[in-house]
Structure 1
Amino acid sequence: MKVLLVEDDPQVASFVKKGFESEGYELSVAFDGRTGWSMYQQQPYDLVILDVNLPYLNGVELCQLMRGSRQRIPILLLTALDSLDDKEAGFSAGADDYLVKPFAFRELLLRVRALTKRYAETSTPQVLRLADLELNLDAKLVTRAGQRIDLTTREYSLLEHLLLNQGRIVSRVDIAERVWEVDFDTTTNIIDVYIGYLRKKIDRSFTPKLIHTVVGMGYVMRAD
């Protein structure tokens, strides 16, 4: 499970990081709001923990940005401010929970587990992921590094089929039968053409490249 912690206090950040890593979590740290937003856009996380008082971009503002990115993710705010108005501002920004400093790590862990469990139980969108590429099967929405990518119906179907088989070589015959629903015509290069369209949209401006050609066999999606 990948967690993003945005906290400007090095001691708190170190305390939280050690605790989560001892529990088997993978935790990344940003020390200001601007860096946190950049990291959030670069790769998918399963949970975000935000301090409220951050340099450049405070936690409430950052929470609002994350909620506007269309990614459905649990967000917990950490802060020394415990007034009702402060809590209302945090929840209004889209936070799921609010923990006041100082706190015991065990309480933070319990809240995180409760949040992730609640999201898992109520999660309806089904998302296919590879590196920073996401395909939401319910919303028919494709993003990479947080950027929306517009695809035609055929391009979307081709990408969905490749992602469902990520790590496996998919032949042109299989693509023709599953995506075009026709017998494969060896005289046409339509599949190669559409692979080219997809590469321009999801690979050209991003790293790593995700669509790979296996000469004489077909295509495979993997993050090399």
Structure 2
Amino acid sequence: MKNETVDQAIEIVVIEDEEDILELIEYHLSKEGYDVTGFLSTENVEQFLEEEIPSLMLVDRNLPGMEGSEFVAHLRESGYDIPVIFLTAQDKDSDLEEGFAAGGDDYMCKPFSPKELTLRVKALLKRSGALQKQERIKYKHLTMDLVKKALTVDGHTVSLTNLEFNLLHTFMQHIDKSLTRDFLRDEVWGVEGDGVNDNAVNVAINRLKNKIDPKNEQNYFHPVWGVGYNFH
């Protein structure tokens, strides 16, 4: 069962009616470690917000049904204070003023680069205080300082290589989920993952296990036959 002391990944909602743009945004934000939920319209978003509390919303202005700024104004009137970044192809001063008046916190004009997107998201999360909660991740005896890239086990510092740190971070973001070796290659090794075989992944995990749990008292890593590994 999932340990309740784990800090949850920051959740971001994206409302964008162009599916290719939505998928692109979801991809780049997921790569940064955020949990992303996408919608092609405002339909079902309020129902989602009744069950989840995202840290940020990215809202396209030109949406089918209810226009983006109207929807955000409606959310503000309903008591939701979730930070919002508007996405739009319109960059007139009047459009910007309208968006901010509706309750927007920032504005991005299309087309925008993935780097600009992630920087603006991070900046707004910092301003809202959501990012400070994510500077450390705790689970069982492990505490990861994401800013200093440091790990302590039972309060004692354990030295990890950059790869081992990223590997553990990936597992700690997906507690109790079976992760394939292909997924780990993409997340941890990135573009260099094409040259990493299954045995190299296994060796890296065993090396990490021996550092964080040498006596196997916590039994963090569980091989999943035909899939990869589960961390709990």
- TM-score (ref. length: structure 1): 0.52
Q: Is the 8 A contact 1:50 1:78 kept in 2?
A: yes
Amino acid at match of 1:41: E
State whether structure 2 residue 101 is matched by structure 1 residue 92.
yes
Moved runs in structure 1, 4+ residues, more than 6 A? Answer: none
> 1:9 offset after TM fit, Å?
0.3
Amino acid at match of 1:56: G
Amino acid at match of 1:87: L
Q: Which residue of 2 aligns with 1:188?
A: none
2:70 to 52, 58, 61: 61
Q: Which residue of 2 aligns with 1:166?
A: none
Q: Which residue of 2 aligns with 1:116?
A: 125
Q: Which residue of 2 aligns with 1:47?
A: 56
Q: Is the 8 A contact 1:48 1:74 kept in 2?
A: yes
Partner secondary structure for residue 12 of structure 2: strand
Q: Is the 8 A contact 1:4 1:40 kept in 2?
A: no
Which ranges of structure 1 fall in alignment gaps of 5 or more residues? Answer: 124-224
Task: Quote the RMSD (CA, aligned, Å).
Answer: 1.7
> 1:108 offset after TM fit, Å?
1.0
- Deviation per CA, 1:46-87: give whole Å up to 9, x if none: 100000000111101111122123232210000001111111
Q: Distance in 1 between matches of 2:88 and 2:78?
A: 23
Q: Which residue of 2 aligns with 1:30?
A: 39
1:154-173 matched pairs, under 5 angstroms: none
1:18 to 24, 27, 51: 27
Q: Is the 8 A contact 1:47 1:73 kept in 2?
A: yes
Q: 1:97 to 1:105 in 2, by over 3 A?
A: same
- Deviation per CA, 1:137-170: give whole Å up to 9, x if none: xxxxxxxxxxxxxxxxxxxxxxxxxxxxxxxxxx
Partner secondary structure for residue 57 of structure 2: strand
Amino acid at match of 1:65: H
Partner secondary structure for residue 43 of structure 2: helix
Q: Distance in 1 between matches of 2:118 and 2:27?
A: 12
Amino acid at match of 1:86: D
Partner secondary structure for residue 53 of structure 1: coil
1:63-78 matched pairs, under 5 angstroms: 63-78=72-87
Aligned residues: 122
> 1:41 offset after TM fit, Å?
3.2
Q: Which residue of 2 aligns with 1:4?
A: 13
Partner secondary structure for residue 34 of structure 1: coil
State whether structure 2 residue 82 is matched by structure 1 residue 82.
no
Q: Is the 8 A contact 1:4 1:47 kept in 2?
A: yes
Amino acid at match of 2:22: A
Structure number with higher relative contact order (C-alpha < 8 Å, ≥ 6 residues apart): 2
Amino acid at match of 1:48: M
Partner secondary structure for residue 129 of structure 2: helix
Which ranges of structure 2 fall in alignment gaps of 5 or more residues? Answer: 1-9, 133-232
